[in-house]
Amino acid sequence: MNLLTHAADFLVNHPELWLTKAGNQVVLSAAALGVALAVSLPVGVATGHLHRGSFLAISGGNVARALPTLAVIAVLLTLVGIGFLNIMLALVVLAIPPILTGVETSTVFVIATAYLSSVAGSNATLGAVITDQAEFGLGGVLGATAVIVVIAFAAAGLVAGLRRLATPKGLRIARQERTQMVSLAGSRTAPQEAAPATS
């Protein structure tokens, strides 16, 4: 209970702080997702069009997720230094793989991981509150986490909405329930994966 009160106190007393940092987190995440989309869409279109290589693209992409973001940040330090570019590129590495299975998954992952900017030279995101308990305590950690969760939900909803708009109406009705159910988990692998097996 005490912890919840502290979290609420943090959110009530420092709105300008967490709003700014949340805004930065959104900008950072959007930039990473944009680059990731630009890189992976051609790959997705190619594999979808050619009906081959999709297993490789999905598996390879999925497996690259096992690369710890912290290690990517360390490697990028020697290439591009620290700061916005470092964490942005690290998030791109994180975002590309799940994009092949579902943009919502990528969105959620990237937003939830963008806090790591705080160990890559930029305290602009909510990671500043999460990694520094000295100033706002565990309540701050919880409050900042709540903000991230809300952003992630909103962004995933937005992406799902955009995709529904882009889907033809007939297909939309047939897929509606299914898509809502499984899209976040990226389980569109199921139908995609079935393609090479049946062709």
Partner 1 sequence: MTALAARVGASGAPVIPIIHARSRCVTNPSSLFCPSWVADNWTGVLEPKLLQHIEMTVTAVAIGFVLAFAAALAAQRVSWFDRLFTGFSTLLYTIPSLALFELLVPLTGLTLLTIEIGLVGYTLLALFANILAGLRETPPEVVGAARGMGMTETQILLRVRMPVAVPTIMAGLRIATVITISLATIAAYITPDGLGQPILDGISTGFNTELIAAGGLAILLALFADALLVGLQRLLTPWRRARVD
Partner 2 sequence: MKPHQTETTTRPRRRSRSGPALLGTLALAALLSACGSSSPASSPGGTSGPSGTSASSSSTSSTTSSSSSASALPGAGKPTIVLGDKNFEEEYLLGYLYADAFKAEGYHVVLKPNIGGSSLINRVFQAGKINAYPEYLGEIAATDAGYTKPLTSEAQTYKLAEAYEQAHGATVMKPETPFYDTDELVVLKSFAQAHHLTNVGQLKGLGPMKFCDYPSEENRYEGYLGLKEAYGLTNLQFVPLSTGLQYQALDRHECTVADAFSTDPQLLSGKYTPLADTKHIFGFQHVGLVIKSKLLGELGPEFQTIYAKLTDLLTTSVMQALNKGVVIDKASPQTVADAFLKANGLLGSRS
User: Does position 142 bind partner 1 by CB under 8 A?
Assistant: yes
Nearest to 179 by CA among 154, 198, 161: 161
Amino acid letter, 190: A
- Rounded distance, CA 30 to CA 114, Å? 10
Q: How far is the CB of 30 from partner 1 (least distance, A)?
A: 16
Helix or strand holding residue 99 (H, E): helix 84-99
- Residue 187 binding: pick among partner 2, partner 1, none (C-beta 5-8 Å cut-off by kind): partner 1
# binding residues, partner 1 (CB under 8 A): 45
- Rounded distance, CA 119 to CA 10, Å? 22
- Rounded distance, CA 18 to CA 118, Å? 14
Nearer to partner 2, 93 or 156 (CB): 93
Q: Determine the interface stretch with partner 1 among 15-23, 44-52, 147-155, 158-166 (rule: CB under 8 A).
A: 147-155
CB proximity list for 88: less than 8 A, separation 6 or greater: 28, 31, 32, 35
- Residue 121 binding: pick among partner 2, partner 1, none (C-beta 5-8 Å cut-off by kind): partner 2
Contact pattern from residue 61 through residue 90 relative to partner 1, giving x for each residue in contact according to CB under 8 A and a dash for the rest? -xxxxxxx-xx--x----------------
User: Does position 9 bind partner 2 by CB under 8 A?
Assistant: no
Among 3, 64, 70, 158, binds partner 2 (CB under 8 A): 70
Angle between helices 84-99 and 15-50 (to 10 degrees): 40
User: Does position 121 bind partner 2 by CB under 8 A?
Assistant: yes
Among 12, 16, 42, 78, binds partner 2 (CB under 8 A): 78
# binding residues, partner 2 (CB under 8 A): 22
Among 5, 13, 133, 180, binds partner 2 (CB under 8 A): 133
Q: How far is the CB of 130 from partner 1 (least distance, A)?
A: 5
CB proximity list for 192: less than 8 A, separation 6 or greater: 54, 58, 101
